[in-house]
Chain A
Amino acid sequence: MNKDTIVASIIGFGLGLVAAIALWVVPRILPKLPQIKSPNQKETSTTAAQNNTTEGLTITTPVNGEISQSDAITLKGKAANTKLVVISTADKSQVVTPSENGEYSAPVKLVEGNNDIVVSLISDETTTTELINVFYFADDI
Chain B
Amino acid sequence: MIASLSLAQESSDSKNSPAASSMVDEKKIQDLKEKLATKVAEIRENQKRGFFGEIAALTKTNFTLAVGSNEVKVRFDDDTKIYKLGKTRTEGAAVDLKNSLTATVLGLYDEENKQQNAKVILLQPGQLHFSGIVSEVNRTAGNFAVKLSGDKTQVFEYEKTTTADEYTEAKKTGKSGLSRLVKNDWVEVWGTPFEDDNTKIEAIRIFRIPQDLLGQTAAPASPSAATEVKTEASPKPSATPKASPKASPET
Contacts and interface: CB of A to CB of B under 8 A. Distances in A.
B226 A87 contact: yes
Interface in B152-197: 165, 167, 171, 173, 186, 188, 190
Contacts of A99: 220-223
B188 A120 contact: yes
Contacts of B251: 131
B2 interface: yes
Given A90-B205, A122-B209, A84 B214 contact: yes
B122 A112 contact: yes
Contacts of B7: 20
Nearest to B132: A127
A53 interface: no
A88 B9 contact: no
A113 B106 CA distance: 9
A42 interface: no
Given A86-B188, A90-B127, A131-B129, A16 B1 contact: yes
B23 interface: no
B48 A94 contact: no
A95 interface: yes
Interface residues of B, number: 69
Interface in A103-133: 103-107, 112-114, 116, 118, 120, 122, 124, 127, 129-131, 133
A96 to B, nearest CB: 5
Nearest to A129: B250
Contacts of B205: 90-91
A15 interface: yes
Nearest to B215: A124
Contact of A105 (B8, B223, B228, B230): B223
B216 A83 contact: yes
B209 A65 contact: no
Contacts, number: 177
Contact of A141 (B120, B228, B229): B120
Contacts of B167: 84, 95
B226 A91 contact: no
Given A97-B225, A99-B222, A122-B214, A28 B16 contact: yes
Contact of B228 (A67, A92, A137): A92
Given A97-B225, A127-B132, A133-B51, A113 B12 contact: no
A53 B44 CA distance: 23
A98 to B, nearest CB: 7
B28 interface: no
Given A92-B231, A98-B220, A118 B188 contact: yes
Interface of B: 1-5, 7-9, 11-12, 16, 18, 48-52, 85, 89, 104, 106-107, 109, 119-120, 122, 124, 126-127, 129, 131-132, 149, 165, 167, 171, 173, 186, 188, 190, 204-205, 207, 209, 213-231, 233-234, 245, 248, 250-251
Task: In the A-B complex, list the 9 residue pairs whose CB atoms are closest, starting with the nearest.
Answer: A20-B8, A16-B1, A135-B50, A16-B4, A114-B52, A65-B49, A12-B1, A105-B223, A93-B207
29 contacts: A13-B1, A16-B1, A16-B4, A17-B4, A23-B5, A28-B16, A65-B109, A67-B48, A67-B49, A83-B218, A84-B213, A84-B214, A84-B218, A86-B188, A88-B188, A91-B233, A93-B231, A94-B227, A95-B229, A96-B223, A96-B225, A97-B171, A97-B221, A106-B224, A113-B52, A113-B85, A116-B127, A127-B149, A141-B119
